[in-house]
Amino acid sequence: HAQLKAECYLKANQAVQKGNGNVALYYSQIANLHKTKIDVFNHRAATCIMEVHKHTQNNPDLLDLHYLHTVEAISCLDLFLDRHITKLRKSTRVYKHVFIITGRGLHSANGVSTIKNKVKCRLGERRLR
């Protein structure tokens, strides 16, 4: 779908340059449909990856975000944190340590871990340390 999306955006761009607004709009809408499909498939893949991690890791306090895109990683992080916060509220403990693996960003643009930075921001937004 990524290749089809790119082709549609290219055709839309070419149509704009030729002054064919309706054709450009059509290809732009088709490209957006492919983008939606990509997002759906990425979400499904993230769900599968998290299920595999849940069944293969011995530590329920560990969240491994390897192989996930940023959007899916932050969504998984929120679910993980919500689950632990709910458990913590039901217990007598005041805090709990959890472990979040983000990776070093080897597959990210310029080798900079975007997930690590987003996780830090999200923890700050939620006032967690």
Separation of first and last alpha carbons in the chain: 39
pTM for the full model?
0.67
Residue extents of the structural domains in the chain: 1-43, 57-129
- For the segment 42-55, what is each residue's pLDDT rounded down to a tens digit? 788 877 777 777 77
Q: Are 99 and 112 in contact (CB under 8 A)?
A: no
Tokens 């969240």, residue located = 63
pLDDT band, residue 24 (cuts 50/70/90): very high
pLDDT band, residue 15 (cuts 50/70/90): very high
- For the segment 51-68, what is each residue's pLDDT rounded down to a tens digit? 777 777 888 888 988 888
The whole-angstrom separation of Cα 102 and Cα 116 is 5
The whole-angstrom separation of Cα 129 and Cα 126 is 9
